[in-house]
Amino acid sequence: MNEIKIFSPATVANVACGFDVLGFCLDSVGDVMVIRKIDKRGIYITKIEGFDLPYEAELNVAGVSALAMYDALKPDCGFEIEIYKNIKPGSGIGSSAASAVGSVFGMNELLGRPYNKTQLTAFAIKGEALASKCEHADNLAPAMFGGFTLVKSVNPLEILEIPMPDDLYATIIHPQIEIKTSEARAILPKDIPLSDAITQWANFGSLIHALHTSNYELMQKSLHDAIIEPYRSKLIPYYNDVKTVVLKAGALGCGISGSGPSIFTLNKGIETANNVKDAMKHVYSNTGIDFDIHVSKINSGGIKIL
Ligand code: HSE
């Protein structure tokens, strides 16, 4: 096999109380990438459709993660990468993570799988860091593994796959404004009050327990963000209005997806997820800001070969 076509999914990071460590995978949105093995050594980005991104491998997220793996393995061949980008950069649903995992996953398949998924994610962190100026894996891990993942540690990289109930759906609104992850990180405080930290780790622990035990009531009580949301929600127009209506429409919880501007909800069942979609739409329809809305089952498989 010399060529592979893959689907690299969008993801939601943080999940309210799990800043930088928790994430989940979507199945209705993602990029398509073609990776081709060639005789000429090196990494070459030969096609990008969808958005205007750099072709130089060293300046492209997919290229940087590919180079990290390539330099480690030193294979006797090169690779061409085609990127069909559907996830808008700066949307908050793991655009850079999808690119970063896509290249290394594809190359690994073409080379007979020398690396496991955790090792591939470690290479992808290098690409993600180009976009966000920081090494974190809370979008990369769910894109690679699927489902909910917890990044227990970045160095050394340790990823836990968290079980989840079957009928969990996400509804996500993406207002068409761009928020750069690096800027959304720069506005966060360096120190936090102990009382907020206590609230956050209580919610985080109980959310993980709720996912393990399919306890929706506990999930609803746990999906709160005492630390990050007060700062970042100011960057997202109508955030509080959206949050109010989606909770009224039955969402289990609502928060900022990654570093925003997308806003996510988790919902029990597709019917509630669709009601939440209507409620979000109602708020944004009158604002003059363009938006997309996605309803997606949680994708349990992650990145896949097409
Ligand atoms: N955990 C990251 C953040 C996700 O919120 O900054 C965005 O890449």
What is the spatial distance between Cα 50 and Cα 109, in angstroms, rounded to a whole number?
Answer: 25
**Structure confidence by residue, pLDDT tens digits, 254-278:** 999 999 999 999 999 999 999 999 9
**Structure confidence by residue, pLDDT tens digits, 148-179:** 999 999 999 999 999 999 999 999 999 999 88
Closest residue by Cα to atom 4, ligand 1, is 258
- Which of these, 99, 142, 178, 157, lies nearest to 11 by C-alpha position? 142
- Sorted by sequence, the CB contacts under 8 Å of residue 286 that are 6+ apart come out as none
Residue 181: the pLDDT is 87
* Mean pLDDT value across residues 76-93: 96
Q: Domain 3-162 is in which class?
A: alpha beta
CATH 3.30.70.890 in the chain is located at 168-297
Ligand 1 centroid distance, CA of 182 (Å):
9
**Structure confidence by residue, pLDDT tens digits, 231-255:** 999 999 999 999 999 999 999 999 9
What is the spatial distance between Cα 91 and Cα 101, in angstroms, rounded to a whole number?
Answer: 17
Closest residue by Cα to atom 6, ligand 1, is 259
Please tell me if the CB atom of residue 95 comes closer than 6 angstroms to any atom of ligand 1. Answer: no
Closest residue by Cα to atom 7, ligand 1, is 258
What is the spatial distance between Cα 38 and Cα 137, in angstroms, rounded to a whole number?
Answer: 29
pTM above 0.85, yes or no: yes
- How is domain 168-297 classified at the CATH fold level? Alpha-Beta Plaits (3.30.70)
Please tell me if the CB atom of residue 138 comes closer than 6 angstroms to any atom of ligand 1. Answer: yes
Please tell me if the CB atom of residue 96 comes closer than 6 angstroms to any atom of ligand 1. Answer: no
Residue count of the chain, please give it.
306
Task: For residue 175, list its beta bridge partners.
Answer: 291
pLDDT band at 131 (very low <50, low <70, confident <90, very high): confident
**Atom from ligand 1 closest to the CA of residue 97:** 8
What is the spatial distance between Cα 213 and Cα 272, in angstroms, rounded to a whole number?
Answer: 21
Active site residues: 128, 181
**Atom from ligand 1 closest to the CA of residue 94:** 8
- Which of these, 285, 247, 289, lies nearest to 264 by C-alpha position? 247
Exposed, middle or buried: residue 233 (CB in 10 Å: 0-12, 13-18, 19+)? middle
Cα dihedral: 269, 287, 93, 220 (round 10): -40
What is the spatial distance between Cα 38 and Cα 61, in angstroms, rounded to a whole number?
Answer: 20
Mapped onto helix, strand or coil, the DSSP state of residue 191 is coil
CATH 3.30.230.10 in the chain is located at 3-162
pLDDT band at 304 (very low <50, low <70, confident <90, very high): very high
Please tell me if the CB atom of residue 20 comes closer than 6 angstroms to any atom of ligand 1. Answer: yes
What is the spatial distance between Cα 62 and Cα 276, in angstroms, rounded to a whole number?
Answer: 34
What is the spatial distance between Cα 11 and Cα 299, in angstroms, rounded to a whole number?
Answer: 9
What is the spatial distance between Cα 278 and Cα 300, in angstroms, rounded to a whole number?
Answer: 25
For 200-239, give the secondary structure using H, E and C: HHHHHHHHHHHHHHCCHHHHHHHCCCCCCHHHHHHHCCCH
Please tell me if the CB atom of residue 272 comes closer than 6 angstroms to any atom of ligand 1. Answer: no
Q: Torsions phi, psi of 261, nearest 5?
A: -85, -5
Q: Are 91 and 258 in contact (CB under 8 A)?
A: no
